[in-house]
Structure 1
């Protein structure tokens, strides 16, 4: 998978993969507040300078982890003829991407709200991918206002979950209810 800052050789891609795997281990152990790029580098067995070659900050590293999860999942519902069901499946999938890792979920929320330019770049990539999935799910029924409304639903719901107001499973259900209200007019 291509990194966000530049094209990678196979060896560099392996290093980035090591760093993202190590970041999850450190995150589980230390939480987002305790996570540092230095700790991740040590866990991955690479130098700190090497880690900073690929990631400008811990926020960038966590945002990359989320991007990789999203990019590695195929959009659901391609064979489903009902556009409403396709949209609901896309929203549920997005909500559940980090549901199995509560520490990662909270870290993703914090990271994506950061000001690091590399995070901003990833936010655009993530948003673009999700928008594409929603447009594809809507099919002929899509219009920009509807897509933006659905984006607001998932963004607000994921922030609520990341802040600990609800679990990701609960948020997925709430997103489905809100989306149904919007889609049914």
Structure 2
């Protein structure tokens, strides 16, 4: 079977959905094939191992969660706490808009506690994401350093998990929470 980018993307998206809906134990070649609507055996032709599936999932999630350049540009044009708060809200919106990707990431984090290969792949992916956020923040002249960005990651992970699962406060406004986080972490 010819390997093509569209088919790989279809299978990768199916793997994200399977992981999000069924968890790590449900992430099988057969489940990916069924979710993608392709003949049995197709996923195994594209991904030779479970590690290859995990790598494809992480790559696809990265692609799906890329910020819109039009949303990022204003941050570079008007650095300040409110602009950083807007950037945090944009991150939160992207993650909640792609619920499957966000839940798949949480599933991978849980799986990483049991599988060293998943831990290694996910750790590298997350560190690269952190460094990209730090680089963006510095380049844009936003008022945060690496330690602040790490705190934002911790806080947004918790806020996102809360929004996607069982909210502690049904009336909470995630945008207001992200804005408050920016102000408080940066001391304003």
TM-score by length of 2: 0.68
Q: Give runs of aligned pairs for residues 37-56 of structure 1, distance below 5 A.
A: 37-38=28-29, 39-44=31-36, 45=38, 47-53=42-48, 56=51
Q: Distance between the aligned counterparts of 1:54 and 1:132, measured in 2? A: 33
* One of 14, 18, 27 as aligned partner of 1:22: 14
Q: Distance between the aligned counterparts of 1:57 and 1:145, measured in 2? A: 32
Q: Distance between the aligned counterparts of 1:101 and 1:147, measured in 2? A: 22
Q: Give runs of aligned pairs for residues 112-123 of structure 1, distance below 5 A.
A: 112-113=109-110, 114=112, 115=116, 116=118, 117-123=120-126
Count of residues in correspondence between the two structures? 173
Change (3 A) 1:106 1:16: same
Check whether the contact 1:95–1:154 (CA below 8 A) recurs between aligned residues.
yes
Mark the runs of 5 or more structure 1 residues left unpaired by the alignment: 1-9
Change (3 A) 1:55 1:170: farther
Change (3 A) 1:170 1:135: farther
Q: Distance between the aligned counterparts of 1:53 and 1:159, measured in 2? A: 31
Mark the runs of 5 or more structure 2 residues left unpaired by the alignment: none
**Residue 65 (structure 1) aligned with residue 63 (structure 2):** no
**Considering only aligned residues, what root-mean-square deviation do their CA atoms show, in Å?**
3.5
Aligned twin of 1:97: 94
Comparing 89-98 with 70-79, greater Cα deviation is found at 70-79
Q: Distance between the aligned counterparts of 1:183 and 1:103, measured in 2? A: 31
Check whether the contact 2:103–2:164 (CA below 8 A) recurs between aligned residues.
yes
